[in-house]
Chains A and B, each alone.
Chain A
Amino acid sequence: MIGGARGRVPLSLALPALVTVALLLLPLVYLVLRAGSGGSRAWEVLWRRSTAELLWSTGLLVVGVTAASVAIGVTLAWLVTRTDLPGRRIWAVAATLPLVIPSYVAAFCLLGAFGPRGLAQQLLGVDRLPELYGYAGASAALTLSTYPYVLLLTSAALRGVDPALEEAARGLGRTPFATFRRVTLPAVRPAIGAGALLVALYSLSDFGVVSLMRYDALTRAIYLQYRALFDRTPAAVLSLVLVALTLVVLVVEGRSRHQTHRSSPGVAREGRRFALGRWKVPALAFCSLVVGLFLLVPSAVLVYWLGRGLDEGELPWREALNSVTASGLAAAAAALAALPVATLALRYPARWTRLLERLSFSGNALPGIVIALSLVFFAANYATPLYQTLALLVFAYVVRFLPQALAGVESALASVSPRVEEASRALGRGPLRTIATVTVPIVRPGILAGAALVFLSAMKELPATLLLRPIGFDTLATDIWRLTSVGAYSRAAIPALILIAISAPFVYLLSTRRDPAAGDPG
């Protein structure tokens, strides 16, 4: 149980948190309005057989991607942080890099490589490879873009586990494996859970991959319904089904979350590394496979395309600057917005503060088009001066990606003992000053990590960017879209590679982070 700062919740904290969450719920309000205006038709859509099938296929995809991401992410995290794997640092960065590849680009690249008549078929000279379209391709491309979330959060937590605990377990005669299972794993479980949640939400909301891989998920059906044009009810109903599915995911993750926290280790030091011995070769093979498949293959395809189109056109510097500006503002805004919500949930634990925190996730699995149209509706009609401004675009990014900022801030907050803050309060500082002068400096790495995740996601965002950006505000993502929509892949490779190049340094910073977040078990 967390010992909160207890006492009355200061209004200066509750108010921003409430306002933040209320704003985040706008898309839900919109959906209820739209579904409601359909009347009985809404029920009809809900009870269609195809709706149940969509629910099933989406669930299957989310479970598969999350399981694969956790398996790959946790194994890699352990290998690069706690073993004597040769080249650990390099593996850590290389294995995290797929995070910067937009999932629609990843799907394009996987298809270009392994699809019918793709590069692999040409190189291998075979007639047919196993079918990539459908479940296999969709889950592979989504796993590629999401397992780094688990890897990042878990390895940061692993670096923060107090080695004394593991040493004690080994001293008491536990085998290395038992130590890992009984001591290390429970300590990093919250981090794994947080990573898995991000993966699940991402897979629920993604449209690019399921459409390119032709897999029937809810998001694809929602996009398709928008083509029916006259009646926006079915799209709204299906979106609400998606929200319901999100709530299930949130409840599952919330249950698995142990209320752990601990005081920071007295001295930060590295634990003893596990000697891989004869497992070294399989471990290296595993790392090579992951990095090869998820980083080298997409990069190779992009470079191949680039080779065909390098001589044309100028480099998209203006687009790059726009991407960085919008994403940077979104990262800062999301971190600011996450702080009160996280502080409230972790420092003043009560049913309503936890509920508030969970609610802020509820719209997160909605596909970008739904969030975009809901903001179009509200802004065009009730906040006209804001409509089609950079501010609204940044706001849309915050709505979509706040959970990533929350994951960073919360894991950091959980690691700091509230006693430190209590001491500050006891010495006469007010709650806000305590947050500003004590909490924020301590959890700064977590805040920055969360902001970096938001930055990376916003760089890649497409559907909301298309509808909400100020006119003429082109970004790297919209540039990729503009070119791929007429099949000009060779020219699309340029903005795609620039996007990756800009994002890469952030990944480097993230992947070497040490999170003091891991709690001791129980």
Chain B
Amino acid sequence: MKTSLKLMAASSLFALAAGSAAAQTELRMMWYNDGIEGEVMQSILDRFEEAHPDISVTLDVVPYQAVLESLPIQLAAGNGPDIARVTDLGGLSEHYLDLRPYIEDPEYWETNFGPFLDWLDPDGDAINGFMTQLTVTGPYVNRTLFEQAGVDLPGEGATWEDWAAAVNEVADALDIPIPMAWDRSGHRVAGPAISQGAAMFDEEGNPALVDEGLQRMAQLLYDWHQDGTMSLELWGSVSGSSYLGANEDFANANVVMYMSGSWQIPQFADTIGDAFDWWAVPAPCGAAACTGMPGGAALAAIADTEHPEEVGILMDYLAQEEVLAEFYGRTLFIPGHLGLAEGGIEFDADDPRAVHALETFAAAVPGISPVAFQLQGYPNNRVMFNALISRLNEAIVGELTLEEAYARMEEDIANQLAESNR
């Protein structure tokens, strides 16, 4: 009798515990960090959990490489997270959840995230998520070095050649090892190539990477690596399409000019601070334009989630104007919310360099070439970026001639697109 009573008590306790566990839905969010945004997001999620005790959210912070390489496999296998922060916006669109049935006011989303929703769903009108940041590629210079060398910063409308001459003058005067550095990324090369007249697509909208504009930019990059304007150690020391940033070299004042983008602002504000004047400058010009590439990261809901209603509640919470105003303000990210972009964000920055950089990149948005927007919205744009950077790099280190590299770029793109269209 005693034993049966004990068993009954134990099973009741177990049922109670199981019941309370079942009442709380756990959502997993895959996230990567460029700066402090993980910290900011966690504090917002803590408040969300307080307001919604039945939903808990785990922020899984992973390296950026995992988002690029592991997430697509996880999604294809149906083992992905409920929500993920992604940069391959259109490339993963088949795995996104259409949030329309689960959010309160789809019109709010369309009004404030309209143009960016197409990046996530190029072929439809789904609402899959929102931009955690809008980015624009562009260069930074070490203005302190320019002042010490007595060289004037090239002004508005200066070409890439003008900048190359100026940074070489500074580097020669002060014995700086790297006059100019670029992130090793096809995305970073695309903006300047478009400035030189690259069209990127043919008349039917099919990818057509190699043309005179791209060749002009590729030739410049090739020459700069041969004459020492750019260090072979950065692009030449790895293979394939591997990303390599020069942010640490720039922060250590080993670089005069660094071609990267707006996402570096919070990191530079943190790591460089007032050690020297790191200064964002407008995108240098080519024959056709003076453009950078738009881009950014989005927080997207994943279709395989078992809790679409809860995902909808969370996304509605995070997409609120006041929540996003806090997120963009604290992270120093350019807002991907049209209402906030129009009204202006109160950035949590008292560093004049950071404020200037934010203003410079925000001012660059209206001047971004339509070709750059088309390329950013193209779902297979990474195929083009990877072919460009890997083959150009093989030419730079002397394994291929530039002509061979151009032919290989086109073959790589054709082969990969043919494989994906099977």
Decide whether A and B assemble into one complex.
no
